[in-house]
Amino acid sequence: MNNIKKFVLSAITVAIIMPSALACTSVMVGKDASENGSVIISRNEDFSSNNWAKHMKIYPAKAYKEGATITLSTGLNIPAPAKTLRYTAMIDWDGFSYKTPDNGKVYEQRGVNEMNVAMTATNSAEINKRALQADPHTDGIVEQNMVGIVLGQATSAKHAVQILADYIKLYGAGEGYGVQFADLDEAWYMEVGGGHQWIAVRVPDDKYLVIANGLRINGVDLDSKTVMHSEGLFDTVTQNKLLQKPDRHSFNFAKAFGNIGDFYNIDREWNSQKILSPSIKQKTRLKQYPLFLSPDDKISIEDIAQVLRADYKGTELETKGVRPSGVDRNSEAHIIEMYSDMPKELAAVIWQTPSNVKYSPFIPFYNVMKTVPAEYASGTDNYDDKSSWWNFRTLGTLASKSVLNGKYEEVVNETWRDLESQFTTSLPFVNNMLKTMYKQDANLAINFASDYSYGSLQTTLDKASQLKSALMTELTHSTEKKYDPEEFKKISNL
């Protein structure tokens, strides 16, 4: 076998066996801690390859025949609900006939349904050996399948936790992870340790939570109304000695099931909390950081974007920090706002990057959007000039340090920061206009919000295409030979 064939075979094998989201960074914000009173969840989604397009998708409500089943990627068949709710999602390009959410291979990274329940999944987490011996993983529920089966049914954030918990009770979990849920009033964060053990906590209204790729939940009261957990959780931990002295009223789920103190995770947690609560001085590389903190100032979309793009420059970890939040293998990022003071159809706003979080902007659109620009639903793992994901990914490559020492990096970053600033400044005015319009004509307001969303996505793509063309033209000029005056005169006369 020649070297080219070996390389292609190796690449195909890796693509088949490798999980989708290898590492993520997240921020959750209670409604009293956010700048505009919205409940917020957010996440970076990182992948094993720089070339893995994402598609935006709208799933309509669907009815299933009695006795119908849904086949998950693990081969597990689960009963289909009588009907599912409409929801939007961001999915992998290789969703395999993703016209339906029940094909088992979609990888829906985030979504919001028509009942204003939002979900993003997952923050992958490593589970320690002792915990896996006590409660092994199964061929049950994994990241690849969960968003659609939960959002298709959930009527609140807490209900979404229970739906996922019920599936885990029946079928087990195939991996460790953290999942975020939100509705118009509250946010819940859920962690899954072993095959059947899980815990969920309500984010306090005046606090925020940052998550990397380690389990985070610690210091919580298992008997509190703001905590949900698997049946027999405390007994499992006690009997298997997963904690030396387990305490029901200050329970450390992360230590019992995870691997705390991993620099890969805690460096990001420390840095994220430093950005949002700079007045709180914390040492670097503590085993665990506080689960919830109060921000120094109310948290804005710009603040969360800063966290999701952050590196360690200017901090104590500048020369030794492991795995910053913003990395080149990031494939997309999203911030979801849930407004309690907006009409129900217009209450969810999704801020989506079309590609890498460092080199593409957060674009706002309302969950009521009726259609997605075709370019945002195209692209594979090969370059595609028509794909929005690839247009922004190309800009990222042109802006990277590997091309002319990052000559274009500031041009691209300034373009998108200016556009993001326009979006964040104007959206409150758009919201106010929509509320007024809705009182007069609900359908008019809904249609306007849909058109605004479509237009925001399309306009941003147009800017990306124009910027890419300009930079490519400039790049080709950089390869031109520098002629002396006589030679230039000669060739000009040819």
Q: Any idea what the CATH number is for the domain that residue 282 is in?
A: 3.60.60
Does the structure show a pLDDT above 70 at 166? Answer: yes
Statement to judge: residues 231 and 102 lie in one domain? yes
Statement to judge: residues 259 and 337 lie in one domain? yes
Looking at every residue in the chain, the average pLDDT score rounds to: 91
Statement to judge: residues 420 and 319 lie in one domain? no
C-alpha neighbours within 13 Å on the C-beta side of residue 472: 9
Q: What is the pLDDT of residue 48?
A: 77
**Whole-number percent of the chain with pLDDT over 70:** 92
Of the candidates 341, 368, 387, which is a domain's last residue?
Answer: 341
Q: What is the pLDDT of residue 418?
A: 97
Statement to judge: residues 142 and 47 lie in one domain? yes
- pLDDT, tens digit, 9 for 90 and up, residues 297-351: 999 999 999 999 999 999 999 999 999 999 988 999 999 999 999 999 999 999 9
301, 294, 295: which is closest to 334 by C-alpha? 301
Under the banding of pLDDT at 50, 70 and 90, the label for residue 101 is: very low
Does the structure show a pLDDT above 50 at 148? Answer: yes
Domain total in the chain? 2
Q: Has residue 115 been placed in a domain?
A: yes
Between 25-29, 373-377, 383-387, 398-402, the lowest mean confidence (pLDDT) is in: 398-402
Q: What is the pLDDT of residue 19?
A: 39
Q: Has residue 237 been placed in a domain?
A: yes
Q: Has residue 321 been placed in a domain?
A: yes
Under the banding of pLDDT at 50, 70 and 90, the label for residue 434 is: very high
Of the candidates 341, 376, 408, which is a domain's last residue?
Answer: 341
Between 202-216, 241-255, 469-483, the lowest mean confidence (pLDDT) is in: 469-483
Statement to judge: residues 444 and 297 lie in one domain? no
Q: Has residue 117 been placed in a domain?
A: yes
Can you say whether the dihedral through the CA atoms of 48, 51, 54, 55 is positive or negative?
Answer: negative
Query: Is residue 161 within 8 Å of 181, Cβ to Cβ?
Result: yes
Neighbours of 281 (CB within 10 A): 7
Domain that holds residue 404: 397-477
Q: Has residue 366 been placed in a domain?
A: no
Task: Give yes or no for a cis peptide into 122 (omega within 30° of 0).
Answer: yes
244, 401, 396: which is closest to 333 by C-alpha? 396
**Six token digits for residue 29:** 């914000």
Statement to judge: residues 407 and 265 lie in one domain? no
Does the structure show a pLDDT above 60 at 7? Answer: no
User: Which residues 6+ apart lie within 8 Å of 454 measured at CB?
Assistant: 365, 369, 370, 371, 372, 373
Mean pLDDT confidence for 201-210: 98
Statement to judge: residues 67 and 168 lie in one domain? yes
Statement to judge: residues 158 and 253 lie in one domain? yes
SS3 54: strand
Q: Has residue 96 been placed in a domain?
A: yes
Does the structure show a pLDDT above 60 at 10? Answer: no
Between 180-194, 399-413, 445-459, the lowest mean confidence (pLDDT) is in: 399-413
Query: Is residue 141 within 8 Å of 100, Cβ to Cβ?
Result: no
CA dist 483 and 150 (Å) reads 65
Query: Is residue 245 within 8 Å of 292, Cβ to Cβ?
Result: no
Does the structure show a pLDDT above 50 at 17? Answer: no
Statement to judge: residues 43 and 165 lie in one domain? yes
Q: Has residue 485 been placed in a domain?
A: no
Query: Is residue 288 within 8 Å of 254, Cβ to Cβ?
Result: yes
Under the banding of pLDDT at 50, 70 and 90, the label for residue 414 is: very high
Statement to judge: residues 38 and 124 lie in one domain? yes
CA angle 174, 176, 178 (to 5 degrees): 125
- The residue assigned the tokens 């000009």 is 492
Mean pLDDT confidence for 436-442: 98
Q: Residue 43's beta-bridge partner residues?
A: 26, 334
How buried is 413 (Cβ within 10 angstroms: 0-12 exposed, 13-18 middle, 19+ buried)?
Answer: middle
Under the banding of pLDDT at 50, 70 and 90, the label for residue 243 is: very high
Statement to judge: residues 334 and 412 lie in one domain? no
Statement to judge: residues 405 and 334 lie in one domain? no
